[in-house]
Structure 1
Amino acid sequence: MWISSVVSLAALAAFANGQLENAFSPPHYPSPWMRGGNGWQDAYAKAQAFVSQLTLLEKVNLTTGVGWEGEACVGNTGSIPRLNFRGLCMQDSPLGIRFADNVSAFPAGMNAAATWTTRLFKSRGNAMGSEHRDKGIDAQLGPAAGPLGRFAAGGRNWEGFSVDPVLTGVALAETVKGIQDAGVIATAKHFIGNEQEHNRDKSGDQNAYSSNIGDKTLHELYLWHVQHYKNISKYANVRAGVGSIMCSYNRINNSYASQNSYTLNYLLKNELDFQGFVMSDWWAQHSGVDSALAGLDMSMAGDQGLASGDTYWGSNLTAAVLNGTIPQWRLDDMVTRIMSAYYKVGRDTARVPINFNSWSLETYGYIHPQASEGYQQINEHVNVQADHKDLIREIGGASTVLLKNTNNALPLNKPKSVAIIGEDAHDNPAGPNACADRGCNVGTLAMGWGSGTANFPYLIAPVTALKAQAAGDHTTVTNVSNNYDFDAITKAVTGAEVAIVFGNADGGEDYITVDGNQGDRNNLTLWGNADAVIQHVASIHPNTIIVLHTIGAVIVEDYKNHPNVTAILWAGLPGQESGNAITDILYGHRNPSAKNVFTWGKKREDYGTDVIYDPGTLNPQQDYTEGVFIDYRHFDAQGIEPSYEFGFGLSYTNFSYSDLKIEKQAPGPYQPTTGQTSAAPTFGTIDYDPKNAEFPPGWHSVKLYVYPYIDGPVPTNQTQNLPKGATDSSPQPKLPAGGSGGGNRQLWDVMYTVSATVTNTGSVKGTEIPQLYLNLGGPDDPKVVLRGFDDLILDPQESETFTYEITRRDISNWDTASQNWVVSSYPKTVYVGSSSRNLPLTGPLN
């Protein structure tokens, strides 16, 4: 349904001030049209020329998916046979290619972020992009940065990067650049507020939950990583030119994400000046005309529900244009945005034929599997892995966080005997791909479950790699995979020089339930009795080392402080080279350098926010009353001591910080953006004769396939029911905080240059991650917020300078009254150190 365009001033003020009771999303129309700025000029010109050739039906075909299992990819738009254009192929996932063979299984986004290394962010993105390109895919459905991680138990946090929007923004941006440099459109997702899996989407009369987020919280936390990041990554996300952004399933302030005119039209396309296209998540679209005018550009999978054959767009979009309800300029803008993204990443030269099929790994099958039509060769089994296993192993090691290391228990040095304990160290007997979309938890955990997965070409279990290391060292090995056979475990660890115990905690998307966990985790404990295994081994062995493969934080306080637990490592979800990567760390082939990307609480209640498992109503509401205070911001504000803080991670060497320098710059005053846009353009002409939009004579329709053709009379014009301004093509005023990619260009003015010296004071080479935090001084500001970081590789006794340029945006708060960023008069402080709670250097920003 339309949100009324008549909104009271009191209601608008309530939204701006973050009052969440009866939350609503303010209407904003018209949908801003693409202008081709911010590095999109050449792509925009090519898109204009292409779109100008198209008929109405051809334009509609590019905006609408053909339906689930309609063609080879998880998402396919219609084609343009007249121009020999096959349509677009969209394919999961954020860590590799879902439903394909001869591909790589990369570490999860969470692991990439734990490296805190921009080179690895981009290299991972480029390797994934090249694999998608060589399979014939046009758009990778990733990277993910939503959920951000409001809930520690959130099932899909691992697909994203971090609970911190700055770290997430840098990782997202570099991944986008890597993917798009490979010639594939990146799809940043999910926009916005999808922080849990339970009740995320509409089902019958049950509405999806509404994430009720105030204006200030949206800007200062959940929109930050979408907007930009500068210095470390120069330009990011919207500023990096990401080609596509995917809507989420949930509602935001009681308006569904795919038809939320405030988040899509006002925030994304106007304030942030996003030039790419917006696609729905699969079946997250709940209207036709409404979603089109609210800023949606592509409907996925095209049908209204799984293999329904019905569509909100397709023939209905054709009819809405024919009867004048949707103006030509809005349809042209949809298609121009799509084709501009296509040209921007060079798909016109990088494209190869689609050579795989999502629905079968067999060589021959149906090209329209839902209808069982078109039997032919569907899979060429092209191997696209290249040498990516080396990068995967490197990221796996670089993302392993050393949480505890008592008396230099690590690294291991040719121990006489090792006991390897726990199901998580071992293979799934049925193979790593035994469960569809990794929807089980058997054997070692290297990937969560759901659509954000890929098939493993192989999976090196820890026991495999550790035995290979032991063979070279002439080390005796005992191992037990059964987490319930304590007699065998006792026998295995008795007399061993070191006992390594593995445990895991899984999670994923809501359409799969594993051990009673419907996507989101039911608790923050380890799975499969692993907590009890750890306690048992620690009770009988004085050198117990713990390795954790988890999708997020678990409660470790009991064994963290156990005197027999000498080391704890978090290895996350490291992908196909899991065993090799952890062996590299355990034996010192690689010095640990990773840092936590979330806080480890001592108990579940420490986090302050939690998943709502039972909606309790057909209209569930989630009020973000905590504002920006999630994870470490919450722990700091409430004075809660964590087990391990955000940004923490040990090394096999030591580092010191000294010589903080702060240099003030003078970029001049901030000027709000003024002026107006040009009028909405149209490209080519549209034939408004309904007879020319009907199915051609003798046409054979594939069952359940979505077409742009109309079948029957065109309904009457509905413009009288549209919100005010929805079809207005006249020049529109620019927003004070907008005007350029990511917002007002002066937000990236450098206000201060901060530097500090980092020294390796130990005896081995290592990488340190210096981190810069700010306190903005206001009574409602967090104690510290991350703003910058780097990775410094230092030889023993070597020093290097860490430098960060603090921008205007870094020291600004969102002002709800002026709808702009402002630098408050409160005194501001800069901190530099090795974690959010170890910040030895501090100084005022005068």
Structure 2
Amino acid sequence: MHSSIATALLTVASSVLAQDFSNDGNYGSPFPDTTYPGFESTNPYAIAGSLSNQTSPPKYPSPWGEGLGEWASAYSKARAFVSQLTLEEKVNLTTGTGWELDRCVGQTGSIPRLAFRALCLQDSPVGVRDTDFNSVFPAGVNVAATWDRGVAYARGQAMGYEHKGKGVDVQLGPVAGPLGRTPEGGRNWEGFSPDPVLTGVMFAETIKGTQSAGVMTSAKHYIAYEQEHFRLVPDSVNYGFNITASDSANFDDVTMHELYLWPFADGVKAGCTSVMCSYNQVNNSQACQNSYTLNYLLKGELGFQGYVMSDWLGTNSGVASVLAGLDMTMPGDSNAYDSGDSYFGANLTVAVLNGTVPAWRLDDMAMRIMAGFYFVETNITRDPINFSSWTRDTFSYEHYFVGEGWTQVNNHVNVRSDHANLIRSIGARSTVLLKNVNNTLPLTGNEPLTAVFGDDAGPNSNGPNGCPDRGCDDGTLGMAWGSGSAELPYLVTPDTAIQNTVLAAGGAYESVLSNGALDKMGSLARRANVSIVFANADSGEWFVQVDRNLGDRNNLTLWQGADEAIAMVAGSCSNTILVVHSVGPVLLEKYASNPNITAILWAGVPGQESGNSIADVLYGHVNPGAKLPFTIGANRTDYGTDVLYTPNGDVPQIDFREGVFIDYRAFDSHNSTPTYEFGFGLSYTTFNYSNLQITKLDAGDYVPFTGYTSEAPTYGNFSTDPAAHLFPANFSRVPLYQYPWLNSTNLTEASSDPQYAAPGSFPVNAQNGSAQRIPKAGGAPGGNPMLYDVLYRVQATITNTGSVAGEEVPQLYISRGGPHDPIRELRGFERLSLQPNGSTTFSVDVTRRDVSSWDPVEQDWVVRNTTKRVWVGRSSRKMELEGVLA
């Protein structure tokens, strides 16, 4: 790049990447270049805006919620409630009480005076974590593989009812971060897809479904939390890495808006009540105290009306985080679990009393929390919390860690209802048929001898919950590991389900469930008429290490010695079916080309009904209609991105030089041929695409939003005398518990906040409660409402040309036509059910947002004057119909 052009671009990029005061320090000289072997974006903004040690801009004040759109009623109720609160009661709403000191994984203080019990916050995005008599649902990546909005809503609603039945107020999910920048990312399976549109739709529908059950959601992890390695210092040190702060994701404003922020905009528009900020830094400012991402983007541009909570121990300061937009700290402890200290709690009381945190800012924190509550709840009366996260025993300690308050903590309430049927259906409808030579599938069940092979077909000998937080890979993979997991009520293995199916049909059945028993596998496979071999690949969260994988996968190969097992079986049986349970992409090139492997299915992480779900597909009870929510490449290097496995400095710098080019966008841009492309999936029937129609609608011109907020409101008064805020007389304290009262009338002594500072020492506008200009791209939850105007309607006719009923997912792709844009991007899809010879219309409304590009200079979306081509096809590579938006 010419030096003068590079300087100009870097100047523009720096205008949106200037120093944020919440950055915890200057890390000195640049670290070595850490670009991974792969691809750089062609967009000069992406290159200039993805530099190591770049910084994030200060954006203040933190916008106050105003009850925009559907939030008006919730804000009215919250206003009436918050107006009654004392200073300490407001602080109690914002502060977790401490780790293992109450029943839920996160619990706020209560307001007994108003009969408001503590808010219970509980994992996970697949089911109620750390309890019993709950269901375990298919993972988010499976939901994405269905490409079915209704599935996302139904699963969200069912999970919401189960959380509600346990007394949970906030379900910690769903997940849009990680998005899936690197295929090895440990928590990708908790989310949906590396495509922002597919993720955005499933994210939004899950939010709506969960909240329809009266449970708040926590849309997470915001933002650019794309790997597990180096997310937290203590875990990193425990693993032998010498770092001083969590890793920094460094990237530009275009990539932020067109990729990572996109699904969060969908979540905000859908009404998510809270957003969880992540562990990583964004452009060298901690995500939970990054004023640009929290104040400007989330609360300003996206018009988010709910509250921001920290991930557990993700709060790195008190006053700085509050002014940068953090509304709730979890689990309440600072620096370490059960530390006895908190950045909020009494320190927040001090900060309000001494003026470092304006009263209006605390009021806004309380208002946002209570508005979120009233957005899904009708009144403050709720059923009690009926479980303990820390023990399955019926009787134990209320304050578990310190051993106080012996009582009944578990009522063992069964909340599963009939959800097993839904789970089984989702598991089957999310299974992707990748290969099916000469209609090998479906099987009949009465083949003379059916043989099943592999560790992944059988049980964990220690039981389905034999490893804490599912932190092992023993037996079949029904659930990956970490805080995104839940206790399985049971796990139906493929061995059990297939055996039941075969025996019911009168066939013979044998299995070898150890990948180490290669000779026995070969002997059985030589006799079998059909051999079904199961294999998996696991991952999870950084705090658990499995087979030397620190959350993130070390590779994209199969686990448990599965390659040797597959080679033995396929070498011995010319009718071998491969079933893969995995958290994401695995390398399948050699199996796709093996003539003895006649069928391949990807079954993901299907939850408790795993075996029944795959049996339903293998034997034709369900015709597969799922599509891959990611690309399966021939080589690991084809993805162009990778995990940073070794620190490149005291503060690991992860430079997103690829910009928006991840997954299929990278494959398309660099003309890499995948084994199976994004959106690919076969069926037991066939479909025809015809009659493309493009209709231009009169939506009018885009108008950037103009306007100001009101002045920051305050609710209620409080005494400024520190003596009025001391602990009440004769108050009995629980050790290590976080309380809002002071120990001393000396405000400096009463505060342990390391970033305590005198009034007036903060950035310009950080304490300014006057009316503020709303960003041009803002104006409503989800952004400027005109972004969602429908500009075109694209339709096509889909016909089932086969002999059995089936489901197809036609996909709409658009080229925005710019020189640095992806070749094509998903912009619409629909899962359609069709009888033989039946036809239906596939229809997608193309919004202004779908054809817009982010302009970092204008700080707004623009529709550029370029030719915009559209395709309707079966996948990202198989385009059946083509046209132009004119």
Query: Is TM > 0.5 for Structure 1 vs Structure 2?
Result: yes
| Alpha-carbon shift at residue 717 of structure 1 (Å) | 6.5
| Alpha-carbon shift at residue 720 of structure 1 (Å) | 2.0
Q: Does 1:287 find its partner at 2:317?
A: yes
When structure 1 is superposed on structure 2, of 577-586 and 668-677 the one drifting more is 668-677
Post-superposition CA distance 1:483-536 (Å, at most 9, x none): 011111112212111000000000000000001001000111100110111111
Find the residue that maps to 1:755 and give its secondary structure. Answer: strand
- Partner AA of 1:148 in structure 2: L
CA distance in structure 2 between the aligned counterparts of 1:329 and 1:199, rounded to whole angstroms: 36
Decide which of 536, 549, 557 is 1:517's aligned counterpart: 549
- Partner AA of 1:259 in structure 2: Q
User: Contact 1:535/1:559 (CA < 8 Å) preserved in 2?
Assistant: no
Decide which of 211, 222, 235 is 1:191's aligned counterpart: 222
User: Contact 2:277/2:311 (CA < 8 Å) preserved in 1?
Assistant: yes
- Partner AA of 2:819 in structure 1: P
| Alpha-carbon shift at residue 331 of structure 1 (Å) | 0.2
| Alpha-carbon shift at residue 9 of structure 1 (Å) | 7.7
Post-superposition CA distance 1:617-668 (Å, at most 9, x none): 1111111110000000000000000000000000000001000000111211
Find the residue that maps to 1:334 and give its secondary structure. Answer: helix
**Percent of pairs with identical residues:** 55
Decide which of 399, 415, 419 is 1:388's aligned counterpart: 419
| Alpha-carbon shift at residue 477 of structure 1 (Å) | 0.9
- Partner AA of 1:756 in structure 2: A
Aligned to 2:265: 227
CA distance in structure 2 between the aligned counterparts of 1:208 and 1:177, rounded to whole angstroms: 32
User: Contact 1:183/1:350 (CA < 8 Å) preserved in 2?
Assistant: no
CA distance in structure 1 between the aligned counterparts of 2:401 and 2:763, rounded to whole angstroms: 38
Find the residue that maps to 1:348 and give its secondary structure. Answer: coil
Aligned to 2:405: 374
CA distance in structure 1 between the aligned counterparts of 2:290 and 2:378, rounded to whole angstroms: 30
Aligned to 1:71: 102
Aligned to 1:449: 481
Find the residue that maps to 2:485 and give its secondary structure. Answer: coil
Post-superposition CA distance 1:668-695 (Å, at most 9, x none): 1111111211100011112222112111
- Partner AA of 2:117 in structure 1: R
| Alpha-carbon shift at residue 120 of structure 1 (Å) | 0.6
- Partner AA of 1:536 in structure 2: M
Q: Does 1:88 find its partner at 2:149?
A: no
When structure 1 is superposed on structure 2, of 633-642 and 610-619 the one drifting more is 610-619
Decide which of 579, 601, 606 is 1:569's aligned counterpart: 601
CA distance in structure 2 between the aligned counterparts of 1:223 and 1:424, rounded to whole angstroms: 36
Q: Does 1:299 find its partner at 2:329?
A: yes
User: Contact 2:17/2:56 (CA < 8 Å) preserved in 1?
Assistant: no
Find the residue that maps to 1:726 and give its secondary structure. Answer: coil
Aligned to 2:247: 209
Q: Does 1:176 find its partner at 2:222?
A: no
Decide which of 869, 872, 876 is 1:836's aligned counterpart: 876
User: Contact 1:285/1:291 (CA < 8 Å) preserved in 2?
Assistant: yes
CA distance in structure 1 between the aligned counterparts of 2:767 and 2:59, rounded to whole angstroms: 12
Aligned counterparts, 1:40-55, within 5 A: 40-55=71-86
Decide which of 426, 440, 453 is 2:472's aligned counterpart: 440
Aligned to 1:232: none
User: Contact 1:764/1:796 (CA < 8 Å) preserved in 2?
Assistant: yes
Aligned counterparts, 1:598-609, within 5 A: 598-609=630-641
Q: CA RMSD in A?
A: 1.3
Aligned to 2:747: 714
Find the residue that maps to 1:465 and give its secondary structure. Answer: helix
Post-superposition CA distance 1:40-67 (Å, at most 9, x none): 1111011001000000001001100001
User: Contact 2:13/2:45 (CA < 8 Å) preserved in 1?
Assistant: no
Q: Number of residues paired by the alignment?
A: 832
When structure 1 is superposed on structure 2, of 631-640 and 9-18 the one drifting more is 9-18
CA distance in structure 1 between the aligned counterparts of 2:769 and 2:204, rounded to whole angstroms: 32
**Normalization by structure 2: what TM-score?**
0.93
Q: Does 1:658 find its partner at 2:690?
A: yes
Find the residue that maps to 1:112 and give its secondary structure. Answer: helix
Q: Does 1:253 find its partner at 2:253?
A: no
Q: Does 1:816 find its partner at 2:856?
A: yes
CA distance in structure 2 between the aligned counterparts of 1:717 and 1:662, rounded to whole angstroms: 60
- Partner AA of 2:201 in structure 1: V
CA distance in structure 2 between the aligned counterparts of 1:538 and 1:117, rounded to whole angstroms: 34
Find the residue that maps to 1:721 and give its secondary structure. Answer: coil
Q: Does 1:585 find its partner at 2:617?
A: yes
CA distance in structure 1 between the aligned counterparts of 2:373 and 2:719, rounded to whole angstroms: 26
CA distance in structure 1 between the aligned counterparts of 2:304 and 2:473, rounded to whole angstroms: 40
Aligned to 2:28: none
Q: Does 1:705 find its partner at 2:737?
A: yes
User: Contact 2:17/2:57 (CA < 8 Å) preserved in 1?
Assistant: no
Find the residue that maps to 2:498 and give its secondary structure. Answer: helix
CA distance in structure 2 between the aligned counterparts of 1:438 and 1:350, rounded to whole angstroms: 35
Find the residue that maps to 2:121 and give its secondary structure. Answer: strand
**Unaligned ranges ≥5, structure 2:** 1-9, 19-43, 238-242, 749-755
CA distance in structure 1 between the aligned counterparts of 2:808 and 2:382, rounded to whole angstroms: 40
CA distance in structure 1 between the aligned counterparts of 2:223 and 2:473, rounded to whole angstroms: 29
CA distance in structure 2 between the aligned counterparts of 1:554 and 1:226, rounded to whole angstroms: 27
CA distance in structure 2 between the aligned counterparts of 1:811 and 1:562, rounded to whole angstroms: 42
Aligned to 2:35: none
User: Contact 2:13/2:252 (CA < 8 Å) preserved in 1?
Assistant: no
Aligned to 1:136: 167
User: Contact 2:627/2:679 (CA < 8 Å) preserved in 1?
Assistant: yes
| Alpha-carbon shift at residue 347 of structure 1 (Å) | 5.5
| Alpha-carbon shift at residue 426 of structure 1 (Å) | 0.2
Aligned to 1:807: 847
Find the residue that maps to 1:238 and give its secondary structure. Answer: helix
CA distance in structure 2 between the aligned counterparts of 1:385 and 1:680, rounded to whole angstroms: 44
CA distance in structure 2 between the aligned counterparts of 1:603 and 1:660, rounded to whole angstroms: 35
- Partner AA of 2:494 in structure 1: P
Find the residue that maps to 2:461 and give its secondary structure. Answer: coil
Describe the shift of the 1:677–1:795 C-alpha distance in structure 2 as closer, same or farther (beyond 3 A).
same
Find the residue that maps to 1:650 and give its secondary structure. Answer: coil
User: Contact 2:115/2:380 (CA < 8 Å) preserved in 1?
Assistant: no
Find the residue that maps to 1:492 and give its secondary structure. Answer: helix
Aligned counterparts, 1:392-791, within 5 A: 392-413=423-444, 414-712=446-744, 713-715=746-748, 718-791=758-831
Aligned counterparts, 1:309-348, within 5 A: 309-346=340-377, 348=379
**Normalization by structure 1: what TM-score?**
0.97
User: Contact 1:201/1:249 (CA < 8 Å) preserved in 2?
Assistant: yes
| Alpha-carbon shift at residue 202 of structure 1 (Å) | 3.2
CA distance in structure 2 between the aligned counterparts of 1:582 and 1:534, rounded to whole angstroms: 18
User: Contact 1:448/1:506 (CA < 8 Å) preserved in 2?
Assistant: yes
| Alpha-carbon shift at residue 719 of structure 1 (Å) | 2.0
| Alpha-carbon shift at residue 724 of structure 1 (Å) | 0.6
Post-superposition CA distance 1:276-316 (Å, at most 9, x none): 00000000100000000000000000001211111101010
CA distance in structure 1 between the aligned counterparts of 2:323 and 2:124, rounded to whole angstroms: 28
Post-superposition CA distance 1:685-730 (Å, at most 9, x none): 1222211211122222211111111112112972221111001000
Q: Does 1:32 find its partner at 2:63?
A: yes
| Alpha-carbon shift at residue 351 of structure 1 (Å) | 2.6
- Partner AA of 1:12 in structure 2: S
Aligned to 1:233: none
Find the residue that maps to 1:805 and give its secondary structure. Answer: strand
User: Contact 1:478/1:493 (CA < 8 Å) preserved in 2?
Assistant: no
When structure 1 is superposed on structure 2, of 826-835 and 346-355 the one drifting more is 346-355
Find the residue that maps to 2:269 and give its secondary structure. Answer: coil
CA distance in structure 2 between the aligned counterparts of 1:365 and 1:462, rounded to whole angstroms: 37
Aligned counterparts, 1:240-279, within 5 A: 240-279=270-309
